[in-house]
Amino acid sequence: MHLNETILIVDDDEMTRLLLVQALVSLGVSTIEAVDGEEAMQQFERHLPELVLLDVDLPKCNGFEVCKAIRRTPKGADVPIVMITGKDDTASIEQAYQFGATDFIVKPINWALIAHHVRYVLRSSRNFKALKASESKLEYAQEFAKLGHWRLDLQQDVLQISRPLAKMFQLDDIEFPHGLSRFLNLVHPSERLHVKALFQNAINTRQRFDLDVRMILLNERLVHAHMQGQVVVDDGVEYLSGVLQDISELKESQAQITHIAHHDPLTDLPNRVLFQQQLESSIVRAKRNQTKLALLYIDLDRFKNINDSLGHDMGDLLLQEVAKRITSKLRTYDLLARLGGDEFAIILEPIKQDEEALLMTHQLLDIFEAPFALKCKTAYARGSIGICLFPDNGTSAEELQRNADSAMYQAKRASAQHFAFYSHALTAQAQHQWTIENGLRNAIEQQDFELVYQPKVAIDTQEVVGVEALLRWTPFDKASIPPNIFIPIAEETGLIIAIGEWVIQQAISQLQRWQNTNRRELSIAINVSGRQLHSQHFTEFVETSLEAAQVRTGLLEFEMTEEYLVSTTETETCLATLERLKILGIRLAIDDFGTGYSSYAQLKNLPIHTLKIDKSFIDNLPEDSKNLAIVKSMINLADNLGMQVVAEGVETHKQLQCLRQHGAHLVQGFYFAKPVAPEMLEQTIEEIKNKRP
């Protein structure tokens, strides 16, 4: 690593900055930090760093605007800027490139590889600077130096060249008759007519010419040369005179940099940028030739599990092996690209029949049948493939990519065959679900959720004794999405595990704040899904979180639906988990009681503290005699089992009076309060206290 290289780290998260600084220690670079766009610009102009690590999500102005601002500065045009963005966030990645980003790093950051990534970018930057310096020197030499000089006597047709030029072309002589033909014979055959026309135009117009040209040496080695010249008069004799320089190394370096910019460093496959260009070119050809093409998106199933269990090095090896196996199945004119992460794309061009795409899909799925040998370990992997056809499923690159992606997610979600063709049967609902799923993944990365709290009121004293924490999600620049929309999708995809952990941590933190400020001692109830309860490390996570916060036991309550408790097939595992939670001081409640058809025998064997009567039984009280009878029996059942009763969805004074008359313990609903943000809770409690009993 070169000395005195400086890296600017821009991130509003102190821990992320600290980890980045530590990860870069081995490079021997200096680091400077900024927490927002304004400070970033100040630090950049003060220190002129060799590289900028820039988070997308910054306060005041986002990372894209900072990137754009740096590019506008006199010294910022060529500085490599690496954006840090969320996983599989395709829109952010494309926007980063539009604003001038050099590269991107996807969160969660692979701390083991970040130093290698930065070293790679710095090395590429130095090569780029060296190329620019070489170009400047070349321009100077072309303008002033006479190295590689040649001149053609326009009357005698005699070519004269300097000795360095003769050495370059491996010629013994420096003067040749039939000069124009001799010179043109040194030019690559495909460019001779162009060079001859350029010479003739310079002679006719007396204008200077300047071009890059390929030359052929006597040993048939190809040389890239830069040539410029013009008509000059010397002692009354007209010459076509110029200079020529070998720029083969420069061209090779430019080709290397272009390759780096357009290829994935892990697999050396075309990256997303080159893939986009090639797809657009393929569409143009298909339209011109009236042929078909197929776009295949491939995603490895449960790749994260492989990374977690075998390590990221093994994960990288697996991606390389998958790329090799896919390549072995393709035709020479098909294109395979790695779009990022564990996602690949293939352009099959041309195809005559749709069945060709299906045949290729089966061949690609076959590559996953045999295990992958990764050094001393063996891994099994599966892939899901989405197939989209041009022109049937789209006529633009954007449309084809979107539809292939939709088909791939359909294959992952619902296809036992591991592949799916795009069709209009992938309805707006499926598209909407896919959007919600991607949004949830981003929200988890950004912790883009909030908790609101609805008071639970003691029916006899009208005192607020606890709250229920309710999850809310409002994506950036969009309307709030109801929990009944996104929670089922989170359950289906397994994202509920990460979301649930965030909810638990936030609720425990709120209890800790109340405890540390000697505020009201309120319990907090949290909705917990069956998938969370069956998660391998759920109870350990809860125990660790409680120990870290040191909150008093008995103030945290987990609510589970009656339907889950009745329908679970892992009764012993479920019961063991509930018993463990009870030992940790967690109160347990059955939510939506009355809708799951549980029996007395089932209830008495569960370590449950609270029954929450579902809102559907409260709505028409006291007029609905059947619902009233059910509610009374639920209250009696709870009393017999020594459980507390909470009536949900209380909205009227008549409902409250009815529940008070029949012995309910707590009520919850809009009659007393809607769910509110934590900072509004104190005011809400005072309003409830003053409400008529």
The alpha carbon of 326 is separated from its chain's Cα centroid by a whole number of angstroms, namely 23
CATH number for 48: 3.40.50.2300
Residue 600: predicted pLDDT:
64
Please tell me the distance from the alpha carbon of residue 510 to that of residue 505, in angstroms, as a whole number: 9
Asked if 484 and 602 sit in the same domain, the reply is: yes
Burial environment of residue 512 by CB neighbours within 10 A (0 to 12, 13 to 18, 19 or more): middle
Supply φ then ψ for residue 117, to 5 degrees. Answer: -60, -50
Q: Are strands 6-10 and 30-34 parallel, antiparallel or unpaired?
A: parallel
| Residues 577-593: tens digit of each pLDDT | 899 999 999 999 998 88
Neighbours of 86 (CB within 10 A): 20
In percent, the amount of the chain with pLDDT more than 70 equals: 93
Residue 1: inside a domain, yes or no? no
The count of structural domains within the chain is 4
| Residues 20-56: tens digit of each pLDDT | 999 998 888 999 999 999 999 999 999 999 999 999 9
Residue 597: predicted pLDDT:
55
Mean pLDDT of 440-448: 89
- Dihedral Cα 72, 76, 79, 85, nearest 10 deg: -50
Asked if 276 and 416 sit in the same domain, the reply is: yes
Answer yes or no: is pLDDT of 422 > 90.
Answer: no
Asked if 369 and 345 sit in the same domain, the reply is: yes
Neighbours of 443 (CB within 10 A): 24
Please tell me the distance from the alpha carbon of residue 388 to that of residue 401, in angstroms, as a whole number: 8
**Domain C-terminal end among 115, 136, 157:** 136
According to DSSP H, which parts of 479-527 are helical?
Answer: 483-493, 496-516
**Which tokens sit at 568?**
């679970």
| Residues 70-91: tens digit of each pLDDT | 999 988 988 999 998 875 667 7
Please tell me the distance from the alpha carbon of residue 681 to that of residue 510, in angstroms, as a whole number: 12
In contact, 584 and 546? CB cutoff 8 Å: yes
**Which tokens sit at 486?**
């996104």
Asked if 91 and 169 sit in the same domain, the reply is: no
Q: Which amino acid is at 233?
A: V
Asked if 375 and 454 sit in the same domain, the reply is: no
Q: CA quadruple 332, 337, 338, 344: dihedral positive or negative?
A: negative
Residue with tokens 């899909």: 361
Q: Which amino acid is at 141?
A: A
- Name, in order, each residue with C-beta under 8 angstroms of 680's C-beta and a sequence gap of 6 or more: none
Asked if 478 and 600 sit in the same domain, the reply is: yes
Please tell me the distance from the alpha carbon of residue 53 to that of residue 553, in angstroms, as a whole number: 43
Residue 225: inside a domain, yes or no? yes
CATH number for 387: 3.30.70.270
Residue with tokens 């620019």: 132
Residue numbers of the domain that contains 303: 268-426
**pTM, 2 dp:** 0.45
Partner residues linked to 651 by β-bridges: none
Partner residues linked to 599 by β-bridges: none
Q: What angle do CA 555, 601, 606 make, to 5 degrees?
A: 25
